[in-house]
Amino acid sequence: MKSYLAAAVQMTSKPDLDHNLAEAEELIDLAVRRGAQLVGLPENFPFMGNEQDKINLADTIALKAEKFLRTMAQKYQITLLGGGFPVPVEDSPTKAYNTALLIDPSGLELACYRKVHLFDVNVPDGNTYQESSTVMAGTELPPLYQSEILGTIGLSICYDVRFPELYRYLSANGADILFVPAAFTAYTGKDHWKVLLQARAIENTCYVIAPAQTGNNYERRYTHGHALIIDPWGTILADAGEESGIALAEINPGRLEQVRRQMPSLQHRVFV
**In the chain, what is the greatest distance between 2 CA atoms, to the nearest angstrom?**
51
Active site residues: 43, 115, 158
Q: Find out whether 212 and 194 touch, Cβ atoms under 8 Å.
A: no
CA distances from 234 to 6, 153, 188, 208 (A): 17, 17, 20, 9
Residues in the chain: 272
Q: Find out whether 129 and 119 touch, Cβ atoms under 8 Å.
A: yes
Helix (H, G, I), strand (E, B) or coil at 96: strand
Residue 131 has, within 13 A of its CA and on its CB side, a CA count of 23
CA 10 to CA 67: how far, in whole Å? 20
Q: Which of 98, 202, 248, 231 is nearest to 159 (CA)?
A: 98
List the beta bridge partners of residue 109: 103
CA 36 to CA 28: how far, in whole Å? 9
Would you call 30 exposed, middle or buried from its count of C-beta atoms within 10 A (0-12, 13-18, 19+)? middle
- Sequence-distant (6+) residues with CB within 8 A of 122 are 128, 129
Q: Find out whether 135 and 97 touch, Cβ atoms under 8 Å.
A: yes
Helix (H, G, I), strand (E, B) or coil at 124: coil
